């Protein structure tokens, strides 16, 4: 039986780590993910788990040591946020290209500058092309559930890629919510034993990791890595299906909230999806047909599935919690319209930037966005693409 409890997102992920009891965890403190290594250290100190913890001297070293440990044949992980992720950027690429199935518990926080400790998605979005699977959570329960699914996805022989399990800094990581925790033995059974095929510490079967590769070979390595990312979609769904059978909670690439007959849909990731759902409930009570598409899996990007899910609506609001500084929108507002275009789905799409560096996303703001979409469709209102919402001063139109 699942156990009812109350926990913050950080506590939920640390609890999942305790249950999985991986072999090695190097980590370095950074707000707001610091609690995760702290809680793990406490579990170890109290004999509740026996993972080998390495208190490294930087995030570059935490990912370097994680790469070393995973290559050696140990199930490994680390946790970080923001600048910590930026410092380990080089190593993110090494982990993925060496096809190491390690896991990173990421607590999303904005990147400098100005230095700020609050949530946006600029850290993980900055690492979106490093070859990692990225899964985002709306709340503590999803952070917990996603972590439990991470190793089965990463370690699948069809995948062999690292997984970033993301939750929103403070909003999810520090806010205490109700949660259903699963029993230890069931979690361990779901995750299974780690049995790598090749590893450094295999006596009598030496292995070499991290070659120099000339142009005659390197491109194939990159192609195979992309193929693994493509394969991972199927595996993510299989693992989600098994999770549903075992624990009763279902997951897909995204969650469709009241989208069946929706004319206007907000596409959003992370904790703000909860706010968007509230707005949908309120507007539906007034007779407006609106819905939310909450993206859970950003890498691999489920382009065709998103296009299909949006094909029946009249307009979509694409919500980016990060800036790309490219002059025309955030990452979602580049990738979603591309998916629509490829699939010949011709609907209105407006890109919004919200919630940077911890700026609140309010239900009222979501109302306005839905109303603006309606205005665009019904009255032909011309709106600026790449709109900033929630600024202190009104954006120049």
The footprint of other proteins (CB under 8 A) covers 23-24, 26, 50-52, 54-58, 60-62, 64-74, 76, 90-91, 94, 200-204, 206-214, 217-218
What is the bridge-based pairing of β-strands 387-388 and 348-353? parallel
- Nearest Cα to 144, choosing from 9, 253, 346? 9
Nearer to other proteins, 74 or 228 (CB): 74
Report the residue number, 71 or 351, with the smaller CB distance to other proteins.
71
C-beta closer to other proteins: residue 74 or 171? 74
Measured from the CB atom, the residue of 24 and 119 that comes closer to other proteins is 24
Q: How far is the CB of 161 from other proteins (least distance, A)?
A: 17
Q: Which is nearer to other proteins, 63 or 125 (CB)?
A: 63
- 56 vs 309, beta carbon nearer other proteins: 56
Q: How far apart are the first and last CA of the chain?
A: 55
> Which residue number, 95 or 349, has a Cβ lying nearer to other proteins?
95
Do the beta carbons of residue 266 and residue 276 sit within 8 Å?
yes
Pairing of strands 254-257, 290-295: antiparallel
C-alpha angle 391-394-397 in degrees, rounded to nearest 5: 120
Q: Least distance from C-beta 199 to other proteins, angstroms?
A: 8
Cα separation, 302 vs 348, whole angstroms: 20
User: What beta strand segments (E) does 8-102 contain?
Assistant: 24-27, 52-55, 77-80
What is the closest distance, in whole angstroms, from the C-beta atom of residue 95 to other proteins in the complex? 10
- 145: nearest Cα among 247, 30, 288, 25: 247
What's the closest the beta carbon of residue 155 comes to other proteins, in angstroms? 15
- Asked, as a colleague might, if the bond just before 32 is cis with ω within 30 of 0, I would say yes
Chain centroid to CA 381: how far?
A: 34
Which alpha helices (H) appear in 286-326, and where do they start and end?
303-310
For residue 347, which phi and psi values (nearest 5 degrees)?
Answer: -125, 165
Q: How many CA atoms lie within 13 A of 234 on its CB side?
A: 8
User: Is 28 or 251 the residue whose CB approaches other proteins more closely?
Assistant: 28
Residue found by looking up tokens 């094909």 in the block: 311
DSSP reduced 3-state for 382: coil
Minimum Å gap between C-beta 189 and other proteins is: 17
Residue 1 near residue 246 (C-beta atoms within 8 A): no
Beta bridge partners of residue 297, listed in sequence order: 135
CB of residue 64 vs other proteins: minimum separation in angstroms?
A: 4
How near is the Cβ of 198 to other proteins at its closest, in Å? 10
What is the rounded distance in angstroms from the CA atom of residue 56 to the CA atom of residue 135? 26
Least distance (Å) between residue 152 CB and other proteins = 19
Token pair, residue 87, equals 């410092």
Q: CB-wise, 52 or 368, nearer to other proteins?
A: 52
CB of 67 to other proteins, least distance (A): 6
How far, in whole angstroms, is CA 95 from its chain's centroid? 17
């Amino acid at each position: 039986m699942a156990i009812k409890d109350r926990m913050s997102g950080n506590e939920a992920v640390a609890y999942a780590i305790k249950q999985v009891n991986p072999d090695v965890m190097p980590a370095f403190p950074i707000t707001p993910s610091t609690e995760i290594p702290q809680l793990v250290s406490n579990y170890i100190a109290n004999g509740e788990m026996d993972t080998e913890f390495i208190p490294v001297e930087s995030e570059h070293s935490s990912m370097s040591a994680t790469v070393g440990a995973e290559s050696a044949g140990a199930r490994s992980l680390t946790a970080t946020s923001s600048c910590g992720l930026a410092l380990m950027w080089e190593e993110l690429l090494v982990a993925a290209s060496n096809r190491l199935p390690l896991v990173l518990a990421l607590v999303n926080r904005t990147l400098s500058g100005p230095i700020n400790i609050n949530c946006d998605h600029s850290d993980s979005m900055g690492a979106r092309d490093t070859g990692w699977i990225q899964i985002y959570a709306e709340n503590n329960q999803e952070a917990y559930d996603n972590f439990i699914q991470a190793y089965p996805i990463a370690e699948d022989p069809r995948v062999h890629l690292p997984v970033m399990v993301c939750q929103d800094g403070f909003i999810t990581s520090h806010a205490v919510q109700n949660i259903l925790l699963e029993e230890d033995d069931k979690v361990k059974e779901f995750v299974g034993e780690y049995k790598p095929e090749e590893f450094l510490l295999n006596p009598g079967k030496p292995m070499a990791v991290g070659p120099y590769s000339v142009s005659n070979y390197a491109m194939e390595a990159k192609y195979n890595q992309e193929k693994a990312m493509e394969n991972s979609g199927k595996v993510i769904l299989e693992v989600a299906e098994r999770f549903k059978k075992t624990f009763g909670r279902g997951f897909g690439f995204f969650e469709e909230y009241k989208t069946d007959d929706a004319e206007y849909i907000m596409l959003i990731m992370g904790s703000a999806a909860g706010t968007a759902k509230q707005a949908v409930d309120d507007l539906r009570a007034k007779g407006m047909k609106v819905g939310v598409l909450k993206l859970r899996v950003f890498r691999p990007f489920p382009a065709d599935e998103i296009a299909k899910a949006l094909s029946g609506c009249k307009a979509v609001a694409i919500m980016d919690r990060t800036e790309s500084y490219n002059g025309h929108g955030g990452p979602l507002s580049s990738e979603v319209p591309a998916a629509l275009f490829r699939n010949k789905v011709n609907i209105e799409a407006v890109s919004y930037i919200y919630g940077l560096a911890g700026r609140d996303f309010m239900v009222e703001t979501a109302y306005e966005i839905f109303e603006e979409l309606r205005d665009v469709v019904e009255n032909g209102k011309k709106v600026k693409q790449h709109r900033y919402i929630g600024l202190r001063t009104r954006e120049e139109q």
